[in-house]
Amino acid sequence: MPLPRSLLVRYLLLAVGVIGLYTLLHKNYIYVPGAEPRVNACFTVLARNHDWRALRDSMRQIEDRFNSRYNYPYVFLNDKPFSAEFINMTRSMTRAQVHYGQIPSEHWSYPEWINQTKAASRRKEMHEKGVMYGDSESYRHMCRFESGLFFQHPLMQQFDYYWRLEPGIKYECDINYDPFVYMKKNKIRYAWTIAIYELMNTIPTLWTSVKKFMHTHPDLIPSTNSLWWVSRDNGTTYNGCHFWSNFEIADLSFYRSKEYQTFFDFLDREGGFFYERWGDAPVHSIAAALFLQKEEVHWFNDIGYYHPGWQHCPSGNAWLDNRCTCDPNDKSKTITNANWGKCSHEWEMLPDTPRA
């Protein structure tokens, strides 16, 4: 017996409503997990056109483990125009909105105060001494851009938080909550998952420049901060600890602050991004130590993450509950079980901020 016409119309209207709701949630990316509204945040990826295959792997990891439920947008940045192949191969990996932008030339070139002949000579010296990426010019532009310029890109201006994503990484555990929401609710401004010692031959004068900054701008440094983690002698020397910034989640107001901008501009004028090989990881980490309280920096100890070389792997119930596939006892990969992982354990030893 055929359905009455009025009932058929009702079913059709219901179907249209369901399709419309799906489109609203998944195509316009307005996703509300439970009762928690999504944060104004994005994944940010610095990439070259030939990175598309490795990035498909990275995106598959983060989509399967987290973002297929949240649909946070992606921002891809490149110093060259993105190819149609790159755009097609990355856009197809997600339902989320995807933005592609070219880095302004002034953010990927030598500032006027840099002596390029001297810079080339120093690259040659560092290469001869066996310094990692010692002779790479592009690596230095990348480090400078990631240290203080990426968040100035026009595509980044619309966002309040960012999560850095790179080619060739793995997320080895499910992420069953929203780290962005966690950070916003708990007033966390910087978050990490791997802490490691820096290669000190890449930054021979960085701490000298940091001390000059502290002497020049004492008014910008709060009386309580996280300095102890990077210097056990009240700022005389740097112990090399830094957050491995290939994974970081940050409140962009930290990088946009007067304190951080003044710090980056000071270091930029010192020339070490080009005359040495200052990396964005120690720059970000030292800034966090100078300007943030311990409670404003968070170790996402339950996020399983691998970057070629090292991994962080949770253990115990977190390993089981989050369907982890990494081996927490693998000393060849798991940073917290290796001598290079002391910085992670020492973060936990950092005294809490005194309360009035």
Question: Which residue is catalytic, options 146, 172, 248, 276?
Answer: 248
Please state, in angstroms and rounded to a whole number, the distance separating the CA atoms of residues 23 and 27: 5
From residue 53, give the alpha-carbon distance in Å to each of 33, 47, 273, 325: 30, 11, 29, 22
Residue 101 region by backbone torsions, left for phi larger than 0, else alpha for psi between -120 and 50, else beta: beta
Structure-token pair, residue 31: 């996703």
CB 196 within 8 A of CB 343: yes
DSSP tag of 336: G
CB 68 within 8 A of CB 31: no
Active site residue 137: no
Least Cα distance to 326 among 335, 338, 314 occurs for 314
Helix, strand, coil fractions of the chain, as percent rounded to 5:
45, 10, 40
Catalytic residues: 248
